[in-house]
Amino acid sequence: MSTATRAEFVSHSPGATERFGEALGRLAPPGTVVALRGDLASGKTCLVRGMARCFAGQQDTHSPTFTLVNEYGVGPDLYHLDLYRLAGPEELADLGYEELFDGDAVCAVEWAERAEALLPERRVDVRLAHLGGDRRSIACTDHGALPAGWEASLAAALQATP
Ligand SMILES: Nc1ncnc2c1ncn2[C@@H]1O[C@H](COP(=O)(O)OP(=O)(O)OP(=O)(O)O)[C@@H](O)[C@H]1O
Ligand SMILES: [Mg+2]
């Protein structure tokens, strides 16, 4: 089992969270599952919008409320799942989550706690939290998915000017 590495960041604006997501999308090797957790409006979709910018054929990113899963890029390169309204595990099975998680596309999963037991071991956990106003904490734990030095790359994305 690989050891987990953890880092915590602070975003001061939606734009910064998007840039953070874009940097994460660039770092994440094909097939990486990014498990997003955090309260309502903590910025999960905002972060995924940034991730989607990394891939060709990008479109506006909104939560896949009715379909549970949206696709971005060719292939596709990114699946965006939002499990907030998941009725139960059988709905995930219908979705073919194993193929999604085992495939070559990056999977960004909002409300990942709804699929806790189904998440692969090798993944990135991201927890967002409100810090007041537009500030959000973004805690990331990499479980063997990201390249060494990922913490510095993500920190740099937050420091870049809008
Ligand atoms: N630093 C920030 N990062 C991200 N979003 C921010 C930030 N500051 C303010 N916001 C606002 O917070 C909201 C975040 O919405 P978003 O849809 O990304 O949240 P979410 O976590 O996906 O919520 P939900 O659980 O409903 O899916 C947006 O309205 C955004 O403009
Ligand atoms: Mg959302």
At 154, list the tokens. 């993500």
Confidence class of residue 162 from pLDDT cuts 50, 70 and 90?
Answer: low
For 4-24, write each residue's pLDDT tens digit: 999 999 999 999 999 999 999
**CATH code, 132:** 3.40.50.300
Task: Please report which ligand is nearest the Cα atom of 111.
Answer: 1
Residue with tokens 């790359």: 153
Mean pLDDT, residues 38-56: 93
Q: Taking the C-alpha atoms of 158, 72, 107 and 111 in order, what is their torsion angle to the nearest 10 degrees?
A: 80
Tokens 């995930």 belong to 92
pLDDT digits (tens, 9 = 90+) for 111-153: 999 999 999 999 999 999 999 999 999 999 999 999 999 999 9
Q: How far is the CA of 3 from the centre of ligand 1 (A)?
A: 30
Taking the whole predicted model, whether its pTM rises above 0.75 is answered as yes
Q: What spacing in Å lies between the alpha carbon of 41 and ligand 2's midpoint? A: 7
Pocket of ligand 1 (CB under 6 A): 11, 13-14, 16-17, 38, 40-46, 63, 110, 134, 136
Q: What would the two tokens of residue 48 be?
A: 């995924």
pLDDT digits (tens, 9 = 90+) for 65-85: 556 788 888 778 999 999 998
Secondary structure element (H or E) that encloses residue 142, with its range: strand 136-143
Strand order of the β-sheet with 136-143 is 5-11, 136-143, 123-130, 33-38, 106-110, 78-82, 69-72
Q: How many structural domains comprise the chain?
A: 1
Give me the residue label for tokens 């890029």. Answer: 73
Q: Which helix (H) or strand (E) holds 45?
A: helix 44-52
Q: Please report the pLDDT score of residue 10 as a whole number.
A: 97
Question: Candidates 37, 40, 46: which one to mutate for ligand 1, based on the most atoms within 8 Å of Cβ?
Answer: 46
The closest residue, in CA terms, to atom 6 on ligand 1 is 14
Question: Which structural domain range is residue 98 located in?
Answer: 5-159
Q: Is residue 58 over pLDDT 60?
A: no
